[in-house]
Structure 1
Amino acid sequence: MTVLEAALRAVAALAAFLVLPLLVGQAEHKVMAHMQGRLGPMYAGGFHGWAQLVADGVKFLQKEDITPRAADRWVFRLAPGVALVPYLLALALLPVHPGVAAVDVPGSLVLLLAATSVGALGTLMAGWSSANKYSLIGGLRAAAQLVSYELPIVLAVASVALAGGSLSLVGLADAWSPWWLLWQLPGAVVFLVAAVAELQRPPFDMPVADAELVMGAWTEYTGLRFAFFLLAEYAGIVVMSVLFAVLWLGGWHGPLPDALGWLWTLVKGFVVALVVIWVRVAWPRLREDQLQRLAWLWLVPLGLFQVVLTGVGVVAGW
C-alpha cells in the first residue's frame, strides 16, 4: 500500500466516522418519534429537520467547557477522548467490501474487540474523576456492566471465528453461508443483546440513568466534551451494527452486483441499527440486579452453548 492510498483510506474512515453516526442519530430522532406517535425534528435544515444534529453540534460548540474544581482534571478531560477514539479505530477495521477497509490486518476481529472494550472505559473514567456522587455511581455501574457483558460478546464472536476458521473479518465474511442464519442464531441473539448493554443503551442505560442519576457519569460534562460522549454512543451503534452484518448476515454477500457489495453491507448494518433503536422504544429500563442476572444466568450459558454447538459442528463437518 502506498502512502497516498493509506492517506486516502484514513480520510475515508474519518469521513465515515463523522457522517454515519450522525445519520444513525438523525434516524433515531425520527424513527423513535414515529414509534411514539410524534413527529420528531421538523424545522432545522428544512425537510424533516435533517440538520437537527448539525444544529445541536453548533450549540455544543458555543457552550462553555467547565471542569469542576474538585475533579481529577486530566482524567476528567481525557475521558471523552477515551470513549470516542477507540470507535474510530474499530470503524477503520470494519470491511464493507473485500479490500475496502481503512486498516486490514490478519487478526482484525481481535483488535476490533479490544478497541470497543477500551471505549467503554471512558464512562468509568468520567464517573471516577468528576467528584460527583451521581457520576461515581454511574461509573461503578459502567464498570460492572463492562465486566458482565464483555464475556457474552467474546463467546458469540468466538463461535463465528471457530465456524469460519479465521480471525480476519474479511475471511469470516467470505466463509459465511445462509446456513449460519440458523446454526449461529443463539450467538447472534447473545451478541445483539450484549452489544446494546455494552453501549449502555436503553434498556441497559443504568450508568447514565437520567431519572435516577441526573445524567450518571456524564453529569458534570458540558459543551464539546459532552457531545463527544453522544458521538461515541452513535459511533458504537454503527460499529456494532456493521460488525453484526459482517459476521452473521454475510456482509457484502447478497442480490446486489459485486461492485455494490459495500452498499449492501451498509444497508444490513442500518437495519440492525434500527433494531437497536426499536429496543430503546419498546423496553423499559432494567434494574441493576436484573441486568446482572440476564448476563450471568442467560447470556453466558447461551454463549457457551453456542461455542459447544459450533465445535461439534466443525468436528462433524457441518
Structure 2
Amino acid sequence: MKRKIFATLTLVAWFMFFLAACGAQKADVADRCKGPNAPAACKTDCVPGVANGCPAKFYCEAAEGSDYGKCHSQCTQAGNECGDGATCSAEGRCHKSSLVFKILDFPGTKWIFLILALVMPLASILTWMERRQSAMMQDRLGPNRANIGPIKLKGILHFVADAVKMIFKEDFIPANVHKGLYALAPILAIAPVFIAFAIIPFGPTIYPHQVTDVIDPVALMQAPSSDVFRDSIRLQMFEIDFGLIFYFAVLTLANYGGTIAGWASYNKWALLGGLRSSSQMMSYEVAMGLSLMGAFLIVGSLEPGFIVTHGASTSMSAAHPLNWLWLWQPLGLVLFFTAAIAETKRAPFDIPEGEPEIIGYFVEYTGLRWGLFFLAEFIEIVFISAVVVTVFLGGWQVPFLDADGFRFGGEMQEVKNAAGVVIGKASVGGSVLPLPHGVVAALQFGAFGLKVVLLCWFQLMIRWTLPRFRADQLMNLGWKLLLPLALANVMVTALIYLLFM
C-alpha cells in the first residue's frame, strides 16, 4: 500500500514539474516577443490595436504570447460580406451588436429614459418650486403640509398630493360640449411637447466598452466605426437635419389644444381664451423663428446635435465657453427666450388665461383633463430651457472638458484619416487632466441637467417678478419690438458672416 502511494505521489510530482517547465518556456517566449526590442523572428505582420498596422480592409489577430500578430480580413466597409445584420468595422472585422445594445440605442428607449429621468421629475418638482418661490417672495410659509409620517421635506411631496387629487376628482363634462373635441384637446396640448423632445441631445455619445478608459479624441475621430468604439449609444433620439424646424412644426400642433378646448367647451369665455391663445402663439412664433436664423448662419446647420458638438467657431473647441452661441448671438438669445416664455402662456404673458376676466380656455375642464393642461405648461418650461441650453449655452458641453478629460490651453488641429483626407478638427496639446470616459459622460449629462434646472428657475423668477401685460401691450411687444429686432439681428449676422467669417 505504501509503495502505491509513493508511486502515485512521484507521478504527480513529475507531472507538475513538466507543467512548470512548459510554462517557463512559454513565458520566456512571451518575454522575448514583447516590447519594441523583440527579435525580428517575432515580428510578423502587425501590432494589435494599431490602426495602421495592417493594410486597408484587414485587421490584426494577435499571436499567442506575443505583442505581434498576423493580418486577416473578414469584410470591407464598402461591401456587404458580413450579412445577418452585422457591420464591418474599420479594421475589417464583422461585428454584430448584441440585443441589449440595440434596445438601449433604440429611440423609444432613449425617449422613455429622458422623460422618466429628467422631464417628468423636473416638471413635477417645478410645481413645488413655484409655490415655494412665490411664498418666499411674498413673505409666506408656502407649502409645508404634505408629508409621509414625520417626513415633510419643506412640502416637496405636494406634487404627489396634487396628482392623487386630480386623478380621483370627478370628471365632470358639461352637457353642451362637443364630446370628441372636448376629449381630444388635452391630448393635443401635451402630446406635441413630449414628441418635440425627440430632437434634443441630452448627453454625449456613450461607448460602453470604454467606460473605464481614457478616450483619445483624435483616435475617435479617425476611426469612429472601429472595434474599439463599437456599440455606441448616442443620447439623442433622432438626428434630423431640419431639427429646429421640426421643433416649430410640432409645437404648432400644441396651439390647437387650447383653441379646440375653447371652441369645444361651448362657453364664450373659454372661446375667448382659445382665440387669445392662438393669436398670441402665432404672433410670437414669427419672432422666435427669426431669432434662430442667426445661429443657423453661424453654425451652418439646424441639427441640434451638430450645434452642440461644433459650436460657433472652428478655431476653438466646442467645450470652450467662448465658442457657445450666447456670445455670438446675445440678441438672438434674448429674443428667443422672451418669445419662448410667451409661448408657454405664463405670466407676464398669461393673456389667454386672464384670471381676473375670463379664467381661460380650460374653464370647463376638471380633474385629470385639467391636470393635463396644467402639466403641459410645466413640461413646456422644461423643453424651452432644453432648447435654449442646446442652441445657445453649449448643450451638454462642460467648460474645457473634452473626450479625454479637462484640457486647458489646447489648440484646434486638423485630423486626417488613413487616406490623408481632412475629416475634422480636434483639440490637442495643452495641459490635460485625464478622466475615464464614464466620468466624462456623467459630468456632461449632469451639466445638461443643471443648465436646464437653472433656466427653469429663472423662468419662475420672471413669473413672480413682472406684472401681467394687457392684450394690446402683448401684441405690440411681439409685432413692433421683437419682430423688427429679430429681422435686424438676421441682417447684421449675415453681414458680419460675409465680411469676416
Cα pair 2:287 2:339 within 8 Å, conserved: yes
Partner residue of 1:246?
A: 390
Structure 1 stretch 164-173 or stretch 247-256: which is displaced more? 247-256
Aligned pair partner of 1:222 in 346, 357, 366: 366
Question: Displacement, 1:154?
Answer: 0.5
Partner residue of 2:244?
A: 109
CA offsets 1:146-197 (integer angstroms, 9 cap, x no match): 1110101101122212211111101112232525323311111111111111
Partner residue of 1:174?
A: 309
Partner residue of 2:142?
A: 40
Larger strand proportion of the pair: 2
Question: Displacement, 1:4?
Answer: 5.1
Question: Displacement, 1:93?
Answer: 2.2
Cα pair 1:120 1:198 within 8 Å, conserved: no
Task: Measure, in 2, the Cα distance between the counterparts of 1:33 and 1:90.
Answer: 32
SS of the equivalent of 1:89 reads helix
Question: Displacement, 1:111?
Answer: 1.2
Partner residue of 1:2?
A: 102
Partner residue of 1:162?
A: 297
Task: Measure, in 2, the Cα distance between the counterparts of 1:147 and 1:4.
Answer: 38
SS of the equivalent of 2:345 reads coil
Cα pair 1:148 1:292 within 8 Å, conserved: yes
Partner residue of 1:70?
A: 176
Aligned pair partner of 2:357 in 200, 212, 220: 212
Aligned pair partner of 1:92 in 195, 198, 215: 198
Cα 1:264–1:275 shift into 2, 3 Å: same
Partner residue of 2:113?
A: 12
Partner residue of 1:23?
A: 125
| Structure 2 residues not aligned, in runs of 5+ | 1-100, 205-233, 313-321, 406-439
Calculate the aligned-residue CA RMSD, in Å: 1.7
Aligned pair partner of 1:136 in 271, 281, 289: 271
Larger helix proportion of the pair: 1
Cα pair 2:125 2:156 within 8 Å, conserved: no
| Structure 1 residues not aligned, in runs of 5+ | none
Question: Displacement, 1:309?
Answer: 1.8
Partner residue of 1:310?
A: 493
Task: Measure, in 2, the Cα distance between the counterparts of 1:216 and 1:159.
Answer: 35
CA offsets 1:217-263 (integer angstroms, 9 cap, x no match): 01000010100001100000000011101111111222366321121
Cα pair 1:13 1:102 within 8 Å, conserved: no
Cα 1:175–1:32 shift into 2, 3 Å: farther
- Larger radius of gyration, structure 1 or 2? 2
Cα 1:124–1:137 shift into 2, 3 Å: same
What TM-score do the two structures reach when normalised by structure 1? 0.94
Task: Measure, in 2, the Cα distance between the counterparts of 1:199 and 1:163.
Answer: 28
Task: Measure, in 1, the Cα distance between the counterparts of 2:134 and 2:239.
Answer: 35
The answer on 1:270 being equivalent to 2:453 is: yes
What TM-score do the two structures reach when normalised by structure 2? 0.61
Task: Measure, in 1, the Cα distance between the counterparts of 2:246 and 2:154.
Answer: 39
Partner amino acid, structure 1, of 2:105: E
